Amino acid sequence: MIRTLCYSLLALGLAATTASAQEAKPPFHQSLAVGVHGGMLMSRVNFVPSVSQRLHSGLMGGVLLRYNVERGASLQLEANYVQGGWQEKYDAATTSYSRTLSALEVPLLTHLYLGQGSAKFYLNAGPFVGYILSEASTSSGEDAMSDQDKARHALPVANRFFWGLGGGPGLSLQLGGRHRIELEGRLVYGLGNIWSSARTSPYPQSSELRFGARLGYVIQL
């Protein structure tokens, strides 16, 4: 009898705690948020046949529009200016080559987050499309380069439109009211090629890989 009474009291206590926790959750309303962000990128191009490379560094910046669909999930549209490309590696310290690809990139991401307080962890993931606006190269010590190197350096970008998949984890901190600051890591894997992918092409694969970190500011509308 006493054991039954204890079990009953425990069950009532758990039910009351659950109900209290549910009541403590703030009501959810669908809403929009806008933001700006900027950061640093490291990139390389996956060439086949392979080309010895170091990581190429560049800047990125952009704006975002986020639609909070339901608790814990949003859709995020971005427009970013990015500086990707590659930097080749040579044994001689006086020999170098790098090419910077400046592009406009538009990702459409799923934004999933945990937490309802001042700090939230989140994950972004989804596809992107982009267009290469310009390319610029720097080189030194050309006399030490092979004919194959020089021929590769003379190849202009053939496919300016590109696409791929990207995303990464982040931390969002509330500054007060509707304002938040966000720190995010981003990995982007290109599925297109900057040069022809035909079998007769000297480089049938030439897809870009980028990763980096960015700091952003977001305001809830």
| pLDDT of residue 159 exceeding 70 | yes
Q: How many CB atoms neighbour CB 132 within 10 A?
A: 20
Mean pLDDT of the 19-41 span:
78
CATH architecture under which domain 28-220 falls: Beta Barrel (2.40)
pTM: 0.84
Q: Which amino acid appears at position 164 of this protein?
A: G
Domain spans of the chain? 28-220
CB 120 within 8 A of CB 109: no
Mean pLDDT of the 30-38 span:
96
- Tokens representing 142? 């050309």
Would you mind telling me the total number of residues written for the chain in this entry?
221
